[in-house]
Structure 1
Amino acid sequence: MKKITIYCGSNKGKNPVFAEGAKALAKEMIKRDMSLVYGAGNVGLMGVIADAMLEAGMQVYGIIPQKLVDIEVAHTGCTELTVVETMRDRKWLMAEKGDGFIAMPGGIGTFEELFEIMTLNQLAYIKKPLALYNVNGYYEGLISFLNHASEQGFLHQAQLDLLIVSSDPVEIFDKMAAFEPKYIEKWEVR
């Protein structure tokens, strides 16, 4: 894995621990000589992780719709900045470019990206590792809900097993490197 697609907030959140988590993730990516693929924002956690990677001389690939460029949130320091027409184009290109995916704390856009990658992995359109970076327990409520959905018969345990969850960047990247997708051959209707 050389290019990691990071999904994260265009806000920093109320607790400074989230920005520190972004820097810790960048530090581990730098140590492992990885490149960043992300939504090209210069704001929030997106800006924090991109700045940390760029300051270390790492490759940063930003992908952003023209509409967001027009409101001046594009990070002009990206190694490569790709401007696309729509959010859908952005998401697809980010999914294609990354060798693996990490969802850091974020809002509704991050959730959408997370669930799209879960779906693409589940249906074997892609076979790439996906991790929740659970900084400060941010994703505990979501993890609980996903387990609830499984208990209620709407998610197979195999779907949940494709998701790596950790608050430790070292553990995330070690598990991503060891990722072996396991798919259900035939999805049973419940």
Structure 2
Amino acid sequence: MTVRVMLISPAPGPALRAARFDDDAPLDEAAVRRAGEAAGALPRGARAFSAPSRRCLQTAAALGLDPAAEPALRDLEAGCWRGRSLEEVAAGEPEAVAAWLADPGAAPHGGETLLTLIARVGAWLEDRVSGDGGRVLAVADPAVIRAAAVHALGLPPQVFWRLDVPPLTLTELSGRAGRWNLRCGRPLTASGPPLD
């Protein structure tokens, strides 16, 4: 059975704007308002999920969704880098950052590797196909959306960092029996009809 998985990146919160590793900080008022403005653009009739982070749950609420929190959609675990900016970590640990960006199996921060993230998100995607099909809508962090695209298209993990996922965009995967198609980065705007 064909399934359509629509992944929405969350509104830009303080951590994203500061290029800081996730510290589960809440969204500010401007981000919540921006997500609320996009509420009318969502496709109808989809089962809703959200990553368990506050920014994803707040984005989902502002979009008018009542999602099930899905642990498999949690962001990349950054270990001891959590809450620190990439600039700060690169200044203090340049070799570790270089290794992390070059090797998808590296986890110098003591957290999760990109390979582990891709496998986790890939398993969640494949579970959607083995279900009853239909539409699935999920608010997930950019790293999770990148991991989904890498898994679905069978891309080499080294391309992970080359995929850009802007805030409040929709990335759509449709597939069945392990074959996926990708539609990238449609902005959510309230000015047009709902996405279908």
Bucket of the pairwise TM-score, normalised by the shorter protein:
0.3 to 0.5
* TM-score of the pair, normalised by structure 1: 0.34
Bigger relative CO (Cα 8 Å, ≥ 6 apart):
2
